[in-house]
Structure 1
């Protein structure tokens, strides 16, 4: 692990592709040792190996909420319509601040007597004050890009509830590495939901599969219901065989 951290540090400081020979010389080890470490880092999604060397992997970062709401919008709408069928009057729900979750929330405006726990201003606006719903909004420091609260104050608040169902979004899904996100606070909110909810519904469009995120949130086995917009390939179908999978 120390050697891998040294390799990552040199790639980060190098600003481009570093040769195997150069890395080996820097660290005082053989070329084959560097190649072995690079293979491990590549499997982790940290680097991309190129002929005779390697470079840092280009991670995907998320933009502000309104921008992300427009990405894959048609797929998210189909996912939302399918996900809404799992929500019944009187349920206790946690709904996170991800864009897919926000779109699912808009599909629930005809449900009655919901108890909604959320850290999302958008979800609170759409579901609070209607149809006899009871709303609990996590507070703390607002993240203006996400229109949400996800700091330690918000996390402690949400951790006190025990929802029937949590409706979650995700930044990235990889068959071996599991579920990942890009925002530390939102990743922490997801971990809380997986730990406290009776069941978890994950809404994820096809672009999230095979993608790498910055922060691991949970193994794939933590998902009870997966709603997506395209059939899973064999690898992911096997990885989610424990869950109820709905293709919208």
Structure 2
């Protein structure tokens, strides 16, 4: 399948898409089976063990898999990738997702924006717009939007998480519940193949629930690494989402849930 035993570079020319597809398939196989040995992956994809080791190193650096002796396993469901690492993972994809989201936000809209590095890219794009009112529990989003004096920003009070400047706690939730807005923009840590939306922090989920319950339309923004990813706290399901913005179509199992709940999906032009 992979045809890479001739020693050609994984990243040369037209092979980039094939390598990315192999990475997605490796990730899915490991998550489904719990552990995959290097030799088994090399045989399955018809590539060298050295190529598989390189693939696993890349996927582990991206937070999609965990290294084990002789192979790889799924990432644990209790701990997210570090914030600074998440900022650089899929950065270009997140920028494209953000541009697409903002195309669907009309002037003079009111918005919720919660935590997440993709949402911070959305905030950067929103800075190019005027006459918006944004309510957020993300200090990074507030800081980004403050560059535009024609955007009104309301910030929830509560406990500031040092690792990502998110604001959590009962006071933050009480603040968010006071509003009813046009659009709620939420990020996610994982989407199970059964359609469950997942996160790592129950306090963050509580704030996201308030956003979902008090938004006329809910936009879920996520890159493809979240498809099939484990996290232990249940946020909700696609029945509560109006639109999914992502960089690449999800696996068929997730697509079926999107169709069942009539969720509109948007990918940037040229997404594979």
Give yes or no for TM over 0.5. yes
Q: Which residue of 1 aligns with 2:130?
A: 112
Alignment pair present for 1:244 and 2:264: yes
Of 69, 76, 83, which aligns to 1:59? Answer: 76
Of 189, 203, 221, which aligns to 1:203? Answer: 221
Q: Deviations over 1:75-114 (max 9, x none)?
A: 1111111111111221000001111111111111111111
Alignment pair present for 1:172 and 2:179: no
CA distance in 2, matches of 1:232, 1:140: 35
Of 170, 179, 204, which aligns to 1:161? Answer: 179
Of 222, 229, 232, which aligns to 2:240? Answer: 222
Report the number of matched residues. 198
CA distance in 1, matches of 2:35, 2:85: 32
C-alpha deviation, 1:49, in angstroms: 9.4
Of 168, 179, 182, which aligns to 1:150? Answer: 168
Question: Structure 1 length normalisation: TM-score?
Answer: 0.74
CA distance in 2, matches of 1:172, 1:185: 16
Tell whether the 8 Å contact from 1:93 to 1:117 is kept in structure 2 after alignment: yes
Tell whether the 8 Å contact from 2:35 to 2:74 is kept in structure 1 after alignment: no
C-alpha deviation, 1:57, in angstroms: 6.8
C-alpha deviation, 1:67, in angstroms: 2.5
Q: Which moved more, 1:115-124 or 1:56-65?
A: 56-65
5+ residue gaps, structure 2, are 1-30, 37-72
Q: Which residue of 2 aligns with 1:32?
A: none
Instruction: Give the secondary-structure state (helix, strand or coil) at the position aligned to 1:94.
Output: strand
Tell whether the 8 Å contact from 2:200 to 2:233 is kept in structure 1 after alignment: yes
Q: Which residue of 1 aligns with 2:15?
A: none
CA distance in 1, matches of 2:84, 2:179: 28
CA distance in 2, matches of 1:58, 1:66: 18
Tell whether the 8 Å contact from 2:191 to 2:198 is kept in structure 1 after alignment: yes
Question: Structure 2 length normalisation: TM-score?
Answer: 0.68
Q: Which residue of 2 aligns with 1:190?
A: 208
Change (3 A) 1:177 1:110: closer
Of 123, 126, 135, which aligns to 2:153? Answer: 135
CA distance in 2, matches of 1:131, 1:57: 44
Instruction: Give the secondary-structure state (helix, strand or coil) at the position aligned to 2:245.
Output: strand
C-alpha deviation, 1:233, in angstroms: 3.0
Q: Deviations over 1:93-147 (max 9, x none)?
A: 0001111111111111111111100011111011136242211101112111121
Tell whether the 8 Å contact from 1:95 to 1:167 is kept in structure 2 after alignment: yes
Q: Which residue of 2 aligns with 1:18?
A: none
CA distance in 1, matches of 2:238, 2:95: 23
Q: Which residue of 2 aligns with 1:124?
A: 142
CA distance in 2, matches of 1:92, 1:82: 18
Tell whether the 8 Å contact from 1:89 to 1:114 is kept in structure 2 after alignment: yes
Q: Deviations over 1:210-242 (max 9, x none)?
A: 111110001121110101111233222211121
